[in-house]
Amino acid sequence: MTLNPAPNSFRTGPDERGRFGIFGGRFVAETLMPLILDLEKAYADAKADPSFKADMESYGTHYIGRPSPLYYAERLTEHLRAQAPAGQGAKIFFKREELNHTGSHKVNNVLGQILLARRMGKPRIIAETGAGQHGVATATLCARFGLKCVVYMGAVDVERQAPNVFRMKMLGAEVIPVQSGTRTLKDAMNEALRDWVTNVSDTFYCIGTVAGPHPYPAMVRDFQSVIGIETKQQMLEMEGRLPDSLIACIGGGSNAMGLFHPFLDDREVEIYGVEAAGHGVQSGLHAASLTGGRPGVLHGNRTFLLMNEDGQIADAHSISAGLDYPGIGPEHAWLHEMGRVTYLSATDTETLEAFKLCSMLEGIIPALEPAHALAKVAELAPTKPAEHLMVLNLSGRGDKDIPQVAQIFGQTL
Ligand SMILES: *Cc1c(COP(=O)(O)O)cnc(C)c1O
């Protein structure tokens, strides 16, 4: 790939066609285009309207529980310092998105999109979901605002994630198992896009990550940026300066973009994204689109994808259903090309180790997704000086993963 010249700012994208360099855009059927343009205009209007911002803040505070704390992970810091050379071992902080209502960062974005759907007068909400976290967050806000909710979920995931399917139904949502393709997340997203073109007048499509056609990647990023904005403020209050590094796991990349974006032009801040390496990137069984994929077009945007030799989308594998997506948000593809963010990957095995470490040392059972980032914290922190301030985005709690992890550790519940 050719490297683009370093821009004056990393925060100006996307351009008017929704591109981040050669990535992003809106590669959609002609029939979908009017809907996308409508949405783009409605979002621009909302963004300029102080009452929209006031609603975001009010529900963010009273319904989601924001701001989430920035927490000094003292025992993990000391544990890793004990393994580091003298005078080394970063001071580690968790941005505690796992404390949000519904248990992850997903709800920040859903709140924004549901408030937007209300402004647009759309009574029917559709969503895709993989592990079910985005589906649960969407069903939750639809219940809160009395909107009809339809969630598309791959038939394989419906079986793997039975508790979340039950949750969505309890909240009044209709869950439609998708039988096409590999019957997982990418097929659910295809099906949701199909629904949208057939129900143009009354339906709003609530996408769960920084993917899809423009304006979704930028809009979802904006709604998640509350994570980074709060982190900046909280770190200034706690330590009197900016952090030295940020680290977050990447499925589609929304929790990571939310943390990273407000810091992109603070060039002294190192930024790390962590993809799921599954059984190892060499094994072919992984979900590391940047580390092990190549550029192509899927779900309306150009980005890095997992593909076979014929250009067909390949299956993603990860221990964590929430990272099991064969693509990555286009802004990440661009930040990777620009060299502003360093992308690493963590295997299933490394992730389980980190999952245990965080539970035992901090009394916080993390979701398997951020446990990938924790695995890289364990590697990076000992290489940094003791005054280095490192922030990990703890994107979700591990309750949903307990049955799966118990099974892996050979325990019956
Ligand atoms: C869905 C999910 C992710 C992955 O999605 P991103 O868009 O990459 O943030 C990460 N962590 C948790 C807890 C999730 O539920």
Q: What structural domains does the chain harbor? A: 19-62+106-220 (3.40.50.1100), 67-103+224-408 (3.40.50.1100)
Is 106 catalytic? The answer is: yes
Instruction: Kindly name the residue from 91, 95, 98, 106 that is annotated as catalytic.
Output: 106
* pLDDT recorded at residue 2: 45
Tell me which of 106, 110, 226, 374 to substitute to probe ligand 1's pocket, judged by most ligand atoms within 8 Å of the beta carbon. 106
Residue 178 β-bridge partners = 154
Instruction: Kindly name the residue from 245, 254, 289, 395 that is annotated as catalytic.
Output: 395
* pLDDT recorded at residue 4: 54
**Distance from Cα 321 to the centre of ligand 1, integer Å:** 9
Is 395 catalytic? The answer is: yes
* pLDDT recorded at residue 321: 83
**Distance from Cα 323 to the centre of ligand 1, integer Å:** 7
pLDDT per position as a tens digit, 363-406: 999 999 999 999 999 999 999 999 999 999 999 999 999 999 99
- Could you give the C-alpha distances from 121 to 24, 116, 139, 204, 302, in angstroms and in order? 28, 9, 18, 9, 30
**Long-range contacts of the stretch 353-362 (C-beta < 8 A, 24+):** 353/378, 354/378, 355/398, 355/401, 355/405, 357/76, 357/79, 358/76, 359/398, 361/73, 361/75, 361/76, 361/79, 362/73, 362/75, 362/76, 362/94
* pLDDT recorded at residue 117: 98
Which residues surround ligand 1 with Cβ inside 6 Å?
104, 106, 133, 209, 249-256, 322-323, 367, 369-370, 395-396
**Which ligand 1 atom lies nearest to the CA of residue 97?**
13
* pLDDT recorded at residue 1: 42
Q: Whose C-alpha lies nearest to ligand 1, atom 7?
A: 254
Q: Whose C-alpha lies nearest to ligand 1, atom 13?
A: 396
* pLDDT recorded at residue 7: 82
**Which ligand 1 atom lies nearest to the CA of residue 396?**
13
The one-character DSSP state at 62 is I
Question: CA-to-CA distance for 24 and 389, rounded, in angstroms?
Answer: 32
Question: Closest by alpha carbon to 101, among 148, 60, 69?
Answer: 60
Angle, helices 368-380/348-362, rounded to nearest 10 degrees: 90
* pLDDT recorded at residue 238: 98
pLDDT under 50: residue ranges of the chain: 1-3
Residues 6+ apart with CB under 8 A from 385: 87, 88, 90
For residue 401, the tally of other CB atoms under 10 A from its CB is 23
